[in-house]
Amino acid sequence: MMTLNRRAVLYWGLTILASFLLAGYTAYATSTISLNLATDGTLTVGDESNLDTLVFGGTALATTTNGAGTFTAAQMCDNALITATANVGAVTLTTPTAAALIADCVPANGDTKLVLFENATTTAAITTTLAAGAAVILTEHDGGDVVIPGDEWAEIMFVNLDGTNVYMRVMSVRDAD
């Protein structure tokens, strides 16, 4: 079973090949069925599904801060891109609690939400530290960091582990040379 939460656009194509026996000869016919479906809620598809294209929707949030702050579940769940600009020195931005994330965008065990985060400050020394809300298990890749320098990026992935805890992976990335 596949469940899509929030905004998603699903393009699905199916080709049917049928054979017919007519007067001792085998004839073949093909038919193609296409479905373009957009949803602003939850779409559930049972059994095996093969998708040609899956586009996840989402808007962008631009925010400016003068100090530490906490994102709301709506800000994290409704946006595919979050651009934060710190006006004064290093700041720490904290995710919502696991309960809030589960209620808003990752309701079932295994549900996943991806967010691209940009520290839009152009000064590398003005960093943004990403911190975890209650019951959010914060991880980073080996050699990685949750401190995002100015003008750099992080890919954030949330996964509902068990209906109570949410795994958060931060993958710090930067512009290519």
Q: Residue 43 pLDDT more than 80?
A: no
Class of domain 58-173: mainly beta
- Average pLDDT score over the chain: 79
Q: How confident is the model at residue 145 (pLDDT cuts 50, 70, 90)?
A: confident
Strand partners, 31: 16
Angle CA 107–111–114, to nearest 5:
110
120: Cα separation from own chain's centroid: 20
Gap between the Cα atoms of 135 and 126, Å rounded: 28
Query: What does pTM read for this prediction?
Result: 0.72
The pLDDT value given to residue 12: 47
Lay out the sheet containing 8-22: strands in order across. Answer: 25-39, 8-22, 53-56
Cβ atoms of residues 121 and 88 within 8 Å: no
Range in 3-7, 65-69, 119-123 with the lowest mean pLDDT: 3-7
Residue 47 neighbours by CB distance under 10 Å:
6
Q: Which of 10, 50, 15 is nearest to 31 (CA)?
A: 15
Q: Residue 10 pLDDT more than 90?
A: no
Q: Residue 134 pLDDT more than 80?
A: yes
Gap between the Cα atoms of 115 and 137, Å rounded: 16
The pLDDT value given to residue 144: 80
Gap between the Cα atoms of 87 and 66, Å rounded: 5
Q: Residue 107 pLDDT more than 70?
A: yes
Sign of CA dihedral 167, 65, 90, 150: positive
The pLDDT value given to residue 175: 78
64: Cα separation from own chain's centroid: 22
Range in 45-59, 65-79, 92-106 with the lowest mean pLDDT: 45-59
Spans of all domains in the chain: 2-54, 58-173
Q: Which of 124, 133, 73 is nearest to 97 (CA)?
A: 133
